[in-house]
């Protein structure tokens, strides 16, 4: 190790001696160095002997006031301390400073999230992480591959959404469902029974696929079949359509409530037992330790939960 680094074979170097070397150079005392690294005094003395042999230098020499570093020891002290600091950094969790972050993150979302959450998310980012930009993107049949490849950083979903192997998810809130129709709808003045779902045409939301949902499975279990006259990926289109027709839709109450006055809508409790759904965030297991995504997920969850209070 006294030769240049180009000539040192690290495979032949006992790197376990580095903590002992750092403590000896810092403490200049075998007993105190031993305490620092959790060795007995005899074990530290043996470590010092091995270091002297490996470095071809005594490192510590006895003087009038105790041990002192040799010139080689003085030169090594800052280098060894810095090297151990770098090695520790490999195992230390990366600290994330949102104010210093610079990134463009892509999230699969519907207009439900872009209307109810995006304005609040962007307001928080402007204050806390002004260098992070978001790109809300449409859902697609290849979403699992997009998440796994990094083309998408996050995706909004529900707890009923099937997840591909290795995907991670977290519930960020529970949301009540509402049966939505125009104020003058023929069924607006009475409480609905589940059979009434078969009496009127419906607007269904389909982010991907054909519009079949858990609701259709529930109705089928009750022996009810509904006609879905319109399938759309947009919650806003569903609200606008039922406001001008006798179609009805079953969507998140908090979304419909935002537009109930402007579109003159009636919101009713659905006539079935399960009247809520859980909203989730989905990401790849490859990104499970990404400090930026972890921070953003926490921010989104805070906003989603605060919106329900």
What is the dihedral sign for C-alpha 62, 64, 65, 69?
Answer: negative
Summarize the chain as % helix, strand, coil (round to 5).
45, 25, 30
**E-strand stretches of the chain:** 60-63, 66-69, 103-108, 132-137, 154-158, 167-182, 201-205, 227-232, 248-252, 265-268, 276-284
Query: What is the pLDDT at residue 2?
Result: 36
Q: Which is nearest to 29 in space by CA: 5, 59, 1?
A: 59
Residue-wise pLDDT tens digits, 165-213: 778 899 999 999 999 999 999 999 999 999 999 999 999 999 876 556 7
Q: Which residues pair with 182 in a beta bridge?
A: 265
**Cα–Cα distance for residue pair 42/65, rounded to 1 Å:** 22
All domains in the chain, ordered by first residue: 5-91 (1.10.10.10), 101-173+277-306 (3.40.190.10), 175-276 (3.40.190.10)
pTM over 0.75: no
**CA 234 to CA 224: how far, in whole Å?**
25
pLDDT tens-digit readout, 153-162: 999 998 888 8
């Amino acid at each position: 190790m006294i030769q240049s680094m180009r000539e040192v074979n690290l495979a032949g170097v006992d790197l376990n001696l580095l903590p002992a070397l750092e403590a000896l150079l810092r403490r200049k005392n075998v007993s105190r160095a031993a305490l620092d690294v959790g060795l007995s005094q005899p074990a530290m003395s043996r470590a010092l002997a091995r270091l002297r042999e490996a470095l071809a230098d005594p490192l510590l020499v006895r003087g009038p006031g105790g041990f002192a570093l040799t010139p080689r020891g003085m030169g090594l002290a800052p280098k060894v301390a810095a090297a151990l600091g770098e090695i520790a950094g490999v195992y230390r969790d990366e600290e994330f400073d949102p104010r210093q972050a610079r990134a463009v993150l892509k999230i699969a979302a519907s207009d439900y999230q872009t209307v109810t959450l995006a304005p609040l998310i962007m307001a928080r980012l402007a204050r806390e992480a002004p260098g992070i930009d978001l790109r809300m993107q449409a859902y697609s049949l290849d979403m699992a591959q997009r998440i796994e490849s990094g083309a998408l950083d996050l995706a909004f979903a529900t707890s009923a959404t099937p997840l591909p192997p290795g995907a991670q998810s977290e519930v960020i809130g529970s949301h009540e469902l509402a049966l939505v129709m125009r104020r003058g709808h023929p069924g607006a003045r009475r409480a609905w029974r589940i059979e009434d779902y078969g009496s009127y045409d419906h607007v269904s939301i389909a982010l991907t696929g054909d519009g079949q949902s858990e609701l259709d499975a529930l109705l089928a279990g009750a022996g009810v079949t509904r006609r879905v006259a319109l399938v759309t990926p947009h919650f806003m289109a569903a609200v606008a359509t039922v406001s001008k027709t006798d179609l009805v839709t079953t969507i998140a109450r908090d979304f419909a409530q935002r537009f109930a006055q402007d579109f003159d809508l009636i919101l009713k409790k659905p006539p079935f037992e399960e009247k809520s759904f859980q909203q989730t965030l989905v990401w790849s297991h490859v990104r499970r330790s990404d400090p930026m995504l972890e921070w953003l997920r926490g921010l989104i969850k805070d906003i989603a939960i605060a919106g329900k209070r």
